[in-house]
Structure formats: C-alpha cells, structure tokens
C-alpha cells in the first residue's frame, strides 16, 4: 500500500470515528488486531457492540467505498468480531457496520454509516 493510500485511510478512519462520536457512539478500539485480521473501529452504539470497517475514496476511479466490501472481507470481519467477543467476554448483541467516507481534496464530501451489513 502506498504512503498516500495509507494517509487517506488513516484520515478517513479519523473522520469516521468523529462522525460516530457525534452520533452518540463510544469508540472502544482503533485498528484492533488478532490472528484472524484487523478491524478499523470497535464502538458501543447503545447496547450494541459494532465492528466498523471504514472505506475512504477520493473520486470514483476505483468505485464507491461501499463496492469495495467483498464477501471475503465480510468473512474476515466476522472472524475478527468473534475473536474480540470471545476475548472480551462480551455477552451482548454485536454487529458489523461499514462507514463510507467520500472526500474531495482535504474535505469530507459525505459520510454514510451502514449498520448491520450482513443482513
């Protein structure tokens, strides 16, 4: 991954975290890793624990942020979420979310939060 893509990804994750905080979520983890993979954000949304994949795009050359979530990525997200739930003895509800960040220059064009993307 190029430095520019890494910087864009980190910038998008920060924008997503700020958006989720403004919606009343509590950010518990950023870039949580385990042998199964990594998740960008782990947040509490009311009584729910949400595992959030952030996708950021500057332009449409590579498609929309939402289009980049593949079945394989969802399977990795499930594996990471199950590991987190087990390791942290979480016994409540949990789900997978996606935050799609569209940027224009250094500004946010739009942020879309998709809850429970497996359904």
Using DSSP's 3-state secondary structure scheme, residue 33 falls into strand
Quote the pTM value: 0.90
- Closest of 98, 116, 105 to residue 52, by C-alpha: 98
Which CATH number applies to 3-114? 3.40.1350.10
pLDDT range class, residue 48, cuts 50, 70, 90? very high
Q: What is the 3-state secondary structure (H, E, C) of 37-82?
A: EEEEEEEEECCEEEEEEEEEEECCCCCCCHHHCCHHHHHHHHHHHH
User: Residue 86 pLDDT more than 80?
Assistant: yes
User: Residue 9 pLDDT more than 90?
Assistant: no
Q: What is the CA radius of gyration of the chain?
A: 14
């Amino acid at each position: 991954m190029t430095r520019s893509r890494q910087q864009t990804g980190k910038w998008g994750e920060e924008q997503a975290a700020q958006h989720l905080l403004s919606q009343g979520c509590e950010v518990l983890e950023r870039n949580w890793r385990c042998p199964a993979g990594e998740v960008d954000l782990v947040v509490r949304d009311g009584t729910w624990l949400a595992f959030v994949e952030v996708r950021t795009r500057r332009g449409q050359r590579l498609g929309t942020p939402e289009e980049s979530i593949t079945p394989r990525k969802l399977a990795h997200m499930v594996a990471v979420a199950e590991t987190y739930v087990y390791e942290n003895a979480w016994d409540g509800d949990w789900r997978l979310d996606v935050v799609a960040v569209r940027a224009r220059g250094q500004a946010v064009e739009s942020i879309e939060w998709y809850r429970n993307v497996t359904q």
